[in-house]
Amino acid sequence: MENKKVFLAIDLGAGSGRLMAALYDGEKLTLEEVDRWASEPVDENGSKHWDVAAIFGHIKEALAKAAAKYADSAVSVAVDTWGVDYGLLDEEDNLINNPFIYRDSRTEGMQERVFSKVSKDEIYAETGIQFMFFNTIFQLESELGKPAISKAKTFLMMPDIVNWLLTGVKTNERTNASTTQLYNPNQKAWSGKLLDKIGIPRGIFSAPFAEAGTVIGELKDSLKAELGFKSLKVVSAPSHDTAAAIAGIPARTTPCAYLNSGTWSLAGMELSAPLINAQTLKENFTNEVGVEGTIRFLKNITGMWLFQKSRESWAKAGQNPSYAETDALAAAAKPMFSHFDPDHKDFAMPEDMVKAIEDHCAARGRNIPRDIGQLSRCIQESIALKYAHVFSVLGKLTGEKLEVLSVVGGGSKDKALTQMTADATGMTIYAGPTESTSFGNVLMQLKAAGDISNLKEGRAIVNASVKPQIYTPQKESSRMWRDALENFQQNILEK
């Protein structure tokens, strides 16, 4: 490890967690996976929760493995996770209960309750955040009048809980805070107006904001002794994984659209200021905070979730095709056989995704995909068409002509879907890096360490470290995709 600094990135996803080591030689970054683990929710009193003790136990095991290899060269560690989920601490700094997972059913009916107190227009004007049933604002509404909220002293998002366990320092990192739909991106503060109107106690939002690229504190002495580090700083990453992923996009020509493709797909552009108006509200676009004062102007789209849940259904039916086999079956299936809106509520949390898609298509008189190949192609084409629709709207909202698209995240490895996306959108696609979230996490650690001064310098390092795959629209299929998009927009999208 001579002459190389090592930065550790903890990336927690809704299904798994991992620790990546980034080796920096002064010019390029090389990523190595140190450890990976499953992160399954647990059932408690009829609700689904995140097991914080188990998650932190996995993190400690991973850090111990990192220490065994990199203790002398490790500079810092930083954490990123999904958004919206949170925990509450009491007066003695005990976690009152395990955080609920965002897909838990307790948010049913909560939007209507909140809208009876404050209008959608006012919420959007204050926050610029798209309305999704699991946003923190609706999760907290479900807690009002219950014991947990009355005992609460401190509100922390999921990555902030991990940082607190690592350092003993309580902060709320800004990129994740912005996903709550309780943060005002223009005032750069919690919206006291919304908190008061809804009845959420202001006092629980007492932890100071942390900025990505700054040091939160040193790893606790007890943890250093337990894990094997002599010294390790804990840095504030862009703690929302999408913010990290967007920070980790290599330098491109501007304007450049991006697509962070994973369980969720996040389609958008990086702006210098929030874009909040009647039209962006109508189209339900979000203004989440990015690094260095930027805004992630984007829309959430259901992505690999459809495949993940379909594979579970196939496995229960005794079918376990490999990814290569699934791709081959999809490629052989009839094009444009059937489509659906990936974001329909029917696909939010079904017991059987395959049956949910079949029933959804049947109820609307559409062709029903009956086998693995046809269903897989139906999912791929439906996702690609939803991407094309969203980017069409995005161009109109921003006034930009979008010709280049950066696709990052795990979904960028799906060659068939990425080519379909190029064909459906008409844009040239630069796919990769797959590990953009880890790159973005690490870039802000480089900034905290003084190795770079700003994100622009960091993206140049990513550019030097990875080689993208380039996809161009296929002219021979352009008419077919134009016709399919017109039909999708007129007859498939749920209004």
Instruction: Give the active site residues.
Output: 241
Q: For residue 400, which of 262, 275, 260 has the smallest C-alpha distance?
A: 275
Whole-angstrom distance, CA of residue 248 vs CA of residue 439: 5
Query: Phi/psi of residue 161, each to 5°?
Result: -65, -45
| Residue 318 region by backbone torsions, left for phi larger than 0, else alpha for psi between -120 and 50, else beta | left
Q: For residue 295, which of 312, 278, 311, 280 has the smallest C-alpha distance?
A: 280
Q: Tell me 99's DSSP state.
A: P
Handedness of CA 103, 152, 61, 233 (dihedral sign): positive
Whole-angstrom distance, CA of residue 204 vs CA of residue 149: 9
DSSP reduced 3-state for 39: coil
Query: Phi/psi of residue 376, each to 5°?
Result: -60, -45
Whole-angstrom distance, CA of residue 123 vs CA of residue 97: 28
Pairing of strands 428-431, 264-271: unpaired
* Residue 173, token pair as written in the block: 């990192």
Pairing of strands 233-236, 189-190: unpaired
Whole-angstrom distance, CA of residue 63 vs CA of residue 74: 11
Residues in the chain: 495
Cβ–Cβ < 8 Å for 395, 418: no
Strand segments, DSSP code E, in 353-493 are 404-408, 428-431, 469-471
Cβ–Cβ < 8 Å for 230, 70: no
Whole-angstrom distance, CA of residue 271 vs CA of residue 293: 9
Whole-angstrom distance, CA of residue 50 vs CA of residue 43: 9
